[in-house]
Structure 1
Amino acid sequence: MDVIKKKHWWQSDQLKWSVIGLLGLLVGYLVVLMYVQGEYLFAIMTLILSSAGLYIFANRKTYAWRYVYPGLAGMGLFVLFPLVCTIAIAFTNYSSTNQLTFERAQQVLMDRSYQAGKTYNFGLYPTGDEWQLALTDGEMGKHYLSDAFSFGGEQKLQLKETDALPGGERANLRIITQNRLALNQITAVLPDESKVIMSSLRQFSGTRPLYTLADDGLLTNNQSGVKYRQITIAVIISRSTPTEAGVMKNSVLVIPLLSARKTLRASLPTKGSRSLFSLSSSGPWSFRSSLWC
């Protein structure tokens, strides 16, 4: 005589499939959310691991796989997935300067400078416990020499034209490297009142800030004259210039974190906002905007 075992309420198939269905909906929501945010690799990984886990633990025929699945999932999550991410990122422009907040990205641009004016070879000559800075104009053959000074803090050195360089032994590259931070804080003032600062381990040159920020947020490249402004997605882009085909294109100065090979059509609220993320034909990582006025 067969004995019929009574099932408890928590062993019912209805409860089992209800829980599996809720977990499936939750996983689907998380996958869509990650995809909308541009994290497609995380979305794919979550979908694969969750689908495999739900199938294995919900199906009695795959009972033996329940002992193997945790190890395979761990290997995929902590070994294969980081490897795939590394390879994928290698083909993008992800870097420390492209993963910044808008304020920090703007500060990075404001800290940039470019060489303007002449370049002078420099040398350091010891005078007791102090030093003298000598600049040489290679084009004119002129020499400029400062008074004796000591390293430490920001300081301006007034240079005077001289016929010859000091007779002492010139400081070698090791000494210059050791005092590089102090040399970077020195501003040399030439007889014509032009100012130069250290631009390399062997040269002083006139430098200017590469970008100037206006009160209205307009960013101007002082070297090329190109002007940039921010848009609502906090990306600094260049003012459009018409191309031969008559298409208005923009060069991106700070690349957004989202990347795609085709037009990014995430779940944005309006059709017009989707047109913000239309990839330009000039390259896979150049964006163009339809909101220029």
Structure 2
Amino acid sequence: MSAVNVPAEMPGRAVPKLSMPKLPAAMRWGLWLLCNAFALYLIVALYAQGQTVFALLGLVVAGIASFVFINRRAYAHRYIFPAIAGMLVFVIFPLIYTVGIGFTNYSGTNLLSFEQAQRYHLNQTYLAGDRYRFSLHHNGEDEMRLRVDRGEQGVWVSAPLEGEPVEGEPLGMSREAEVDDLGDALPLRDVIGLRSQLEQWVMRGHEGQLLRLYGLREVAAVEPLYRLRDDGSLVNNQTGERLTANDEIGFYVDVEGQKVAPGYTVYAGWSNFSKVLTDPKIRGPFLQIFVWTVCFAALTVVFTLAVGLVLASLLQWEMVRGKAFYRLMLILPYAVPAFISILVFKGLFNQSFGEINLMLDSIFGVRPDWFSDPTLARSMILMVNTWLGYPYMLLLCMGLLQAIPRDLYEASAMDGATPLDNLMKITLPLLIKPLAPLLIASFAFNFNNFVLITLLTRGGPDILGTTTPAGTTDLLVSYTYRIAFQDSGQNFALAAAIATLIFIVVGAMAWLNLKLSKVKV
């Protein structure tokens, strides 16, 4: 093969430099304007829907994107901006939002804002007159009218239902004989489909009373149940009873202090956090669950590391034949979806029909209460999680063991060292430092192992005498979930406060472990 001659750089002659192709300036600015216009449209739409927080988030992300695009000094940040935007939207914002909810009374009974709760009360009505049958008619001119049969007072027809209802301007009504083309009556299924629209319309009868939709076949003279006073209180038009807004509890209350649902969200300060730490019926199960969560995460890391390291060491043994087969079989649990394995183990540990109890009964004559006894339930969870987690540690240890020089073991063998000496003085010291960040990650993952607890025990057996649903096998994350979604009150604010404490605890423990293991961060 002939050599390829590369011409040397000629003196006085510039060598052309390679550069990435760039879009024309007009096209770049046009694309920037198009993206900003779309982002602004989304922001305005969110704000119009009352989602002020999400609109503010979109404004921040769009503003950062524009700054990175325009500023020449931030050119390099264009490549990492998608990651930053993802962190803002999916990590930082949910975290801040959760922390913010923890300082409110947001719950199943306090979901609305004050304006929404007030509007709900003002929209309540009561029956102030007779009820009349109606039918909905549609003619060939795309007009819809309500035909109301008022018995001896005759049949009346409303003006066409066009556009949007205007508050304070009810539809007029005229006699049926004065309407030229009423059209055919629509079937009931069409009336049901249009019910939400029909409920917005108000008609004024010939005697001045206001008629509204009352059920699917009738209209009635109804009046607003409450009226708003200048001081912000509500007065019941039927009874004269007065309701005042109590911003400490987030409810309208009557003169006797009784709450009138629905409630609204108010700022609650540190009450949710103090409740977790001071209320005995919450503090007791919280501390018990916290201790169990730490023990569960730590023991899981220890057990999975021990099993994975022992198996990896055995697979490194030269006298073992068929290593490829053993590796495949030992890693197989890692390939099976975790929820399938958990449900299989749930059947195996079944007290009455599970294979494990059938074997123990036939050999030792015992049938352990795996799901009723707290100690046995926790032991079962640790066994199942060790089975699910050891393949990960096995893979890590197999790779790290191959990096340890064999000369060290040969030298220790000449000095008469035992396998235990090799493990404690060579293998573990060389493995623990590269494994430390991964062990911390495993601890943090198992600290929030929601799927295992939910599918296997659902937190049971329950802890008695608590005001919140709590179980002896609950982790903090499943305890929080049960408070938020399974408790009768659906106390989202208390759950958010506990979630904030979980974040602080996990972050502090991870930082401490990194410092103690001397891992650079």
The verdict on a shared fold, with TM-score over 0.5 as the criterion, is no
More helix by share: 2
More strand by share: 1
Q: Please give the TM-score of this superposition, normalised by the length of structure 2.
A: 0.26
Q: Please give the TM-score of this superposition, normalised by the length of structure 1.
A: 0.43
User: Highest Rg: 1 or 2?
Assistant: 2
